[in-house]
Structure 1
Amino acid sequence: MVQSCVQCHKIYLKWPQCCQRISCQKEQLSGVQQITILVFTFLFLAIVAIIFIEIQYAGQEDSRYQLSSLQSIGNAHISSHGPDVHYGIVIDCGSSGSRVYVYFWPPHSGNPQDLLNIQQLKDTDGNPVVKKISPGLDTFGTNPGAASDYIRPLLEFAKSCIPQLHQKETLLYILATAGMRMLDEMVQKAILDDLQTDIPKEFDFVISENNFEVISGKQEGIYAWIAVNYILQKFGHGEEDHPLVAVEIPGEDSKKSPHIRRRTVGIIDMGGGSMQIAYEITSQIQVDDIPKPLLAEFNLGCHNSDIEHLYRVYITSFLEFGANRARDRYEEQLVKSTSLLKQSLLTSQNATKEPSETEIPDACLPVNLVLESKDKTGIVNTFRGSGDYLQCQNMLIPLLNLTVPCHREPCSLNGVHQPYINFHNSEFYGFSEFWYTMEDVFRIGGLYEYETFNAQAKEYCVNKWSKIQEWYDKKLYPKANENRMRMQCFKSAWMTTVLHKGLKFPEDYKNFHSVQYIANKDVQWTLGAIIHRTRYLPLRDLEKMGSSHIKPSWWRGSRLIYNEYLIVVCIFIVVMAIFLYMKRLKLCPKRPTETLSRVPSMSYFRTESDQIEQGIKFKTSLYP
Structure 2
Amino acid sequence: MGRYLARVTDTEATDTKNPNLNYGIVVDCGSSGSRVFVYCWPRHNGNPHDLLDIKQMRDSHRKPVVMKIKPGISEFAASPDKVSDYISPLLSFAAEHVPRSKHKETPLYILCTAGMRILPESQQKAILEDLLTDIPVHFDFLFSDSHAEVISGKQEGENGQRSEEVAKNLLAEFNLGCDAHQTEHVYRVYVATFLGFGGNAARQRYQESLAASTLLRNRVLGTQTGLSPDSPSLDQSQFLYSINPHSSHPWEFSDYCATRWAVLRERFDRGLYASHADLHRLKYQCFKSAWMFEVFHRGFSFPESYGSLKTALQVYDKEVQWTLGAILYRTRFLPLRDIQQDNFRGIHSRWRSFSFVYNHFLFLGCFGVVLLSILLYLLRLRRIHRRLFHPGSAPSLWIHEGLPQKNPQKTPNPL
Settle same-fold status: TM greater than 0.5: yes
Match of 2:64 in 1: 128
Does the aligned pair in 1 maintain the 2:114–2:195 contact within 8 Å? no
Change (3 A) 1:324 1:476: farther
Which is further off, 74-83 or 487-496? Answer: 487-496
Match of 1:176 in 2: 112
Match of 1:296 in 2: 172
**SS where residue 168 of structure 1 aligns?**
helix
**SS where residue 513 of structure 1 aligns?**
coil
Q: TM-score w.r.t. structure 2 length?
A: 0.62
Change (3 A) 1:134 1:543: same
1:382 aligns with 2:233: yes
Match of 2:412 in 1: none
Match of 2:313 in 1: 516
Change (3 A) 1:209 1:495: closer
* Residue from 314, 329, 337 that aligns with 1:540: 337
* Residue from 103, 122, 128 that aligns with 1:192: 128
Change (3 A) 1:506 1:177: same
Change (3 A) 1:152 1:330: closer
Does the aligned pair in 2 maintain the 1:172–1:205 contact within 8 Å? yes
Match of 2:378 in 1: none
Question: What is the 5 A alignment of 1:442-521?
Answer: 442-443=245-246, 452-453=248-249, 457-458=252-253, 460=254, 478=274, 494-506=291-303, 512-521=309-318
Does the aligned pair in 2 maintain the 1:104–1:118 contact within 8 Å? yes
Q: Which amino acid aligns with 1:325?
A: A
Q: CA deviation at 1:457?
A: 1.0
Unpaired runs of 5+ residues, structure 1, are: 1-65, 230-263, 265-279, 356-371, 386-390, 397-436, 445-451, 547-624
Question: What is the 5 A alignment of 1:14-25?
Answer: none
Q: Quick check: which has more Rg, 1 or 2?
A: 1
Which is further off, 165-174 or 124-133? Answer: 124-133
Percent of pairs with identical residues:
41
Match of 1:281 in 2: 165
Change (3 A) 1:185 1:328: closer
Question: What is the 5 A alignment of 1:574-585?
Answer: none
**Structure 2 CA distance for aligned equivalents of residues 183 and 118 of structure 1:** 33
**Structure 2 CA distance for aligned equivalents of residues 330 and 187 of structure 1:** 24
Change (3 A) 1:501 1:191: closer
Match of 1:214 in 2: 150
* Residue from 185, 206, 215 that aligns with 1:329: 206
Q: CA deviation at 1:87?
A: 0.5
Q: CA deviation at 1:541?
A: 3.7
Does the aligned pair in 2 maintain the 1:73–1:117 contact within 8 Å? no
**SS where residue 189 of structure 1 aligns?**
helix
Q: CA deviation at 1:144?
A: 5.0
1:316 aligns with 2:193: yes
Q: CA deviation at 1:497?
A: 3.6
**Structure 1 CA distance for aligned equivalents of residues 293 and 80 of structure 2:** 43
Unpaired runs of 5+ residues, structure 2, are: 344-415
Q: CA deviation at 1:515?
A: 2.5
Does the aligned pair in 1 maintain the 2:256–2:286 contact within 8 Å? no
Q: CA deviation at 1:530?
A: 1.0
**Structure 1 CA distance for aligned equivalents of residues 71 and 252 of structure 2:** 36
* Residue from 41, 44, 52 that aligns with 1:116: 52
Match of 1:103 in 2: 39
Does the aligned pair in 1 maintain the 2:31–2:200 contact within 8 Å? no
**Structure 2 CA distance for aligned equivalents of residues 171 and 311 of structure 1:** 27
What's the CA shift string for 1:388-439, capped at 9, x where partnerless?
A: xxx848x99xxxxxxxxxxxxxxxxxxxxxxxxxxxxxxxxxxxxxxxx65x
Q: TM-score w.r.t. structure 1 length?
A: 0.43
Does the aligned pair in 2 maintain the 1:141–1:191 contact within 8 Å? yes
**SS where residue 188 of structure 2 aligns?**
strand
Change (3 A) 1:483 1:188: closer
CA RMSD of aligned residues (A): 4.8
Change (3 A) 1:72 1:315: farther
Match of 2:359 in 1: none
Question: What is the 5 A alignment of 1:61-460?
Answer: 70=6, 74-75=10-11, 77-132=13-68, 137-138=73-74, 141=77, 144=80, 147-148=83-84, 150-223=86-159, 225-226=160-161, 229=162, 264=163, 280-282=164-166, 286-287=167-168, 290=169, 294-304=170-180, 305-320=182-197, 322=199, 325=202, 329=206, 332=209, 336=213, 346=221, 381-383=232-234, 392=238, 441-443=244-246, 452-453=248-249, 457-458=252-253, 460=254
What's the CA shift string for 1:165-221, capped at 9, x where partnerless?
A: 322221111223344334443443344334334444554322344112122233233
Q: CA deviation at 1:529?
A: 1.6
Q: CA deviation at 1:538?
A: 1.9
**Structure 2 CA distance for aligned equivalents of residues 112 and 177 of structure 1:** 32
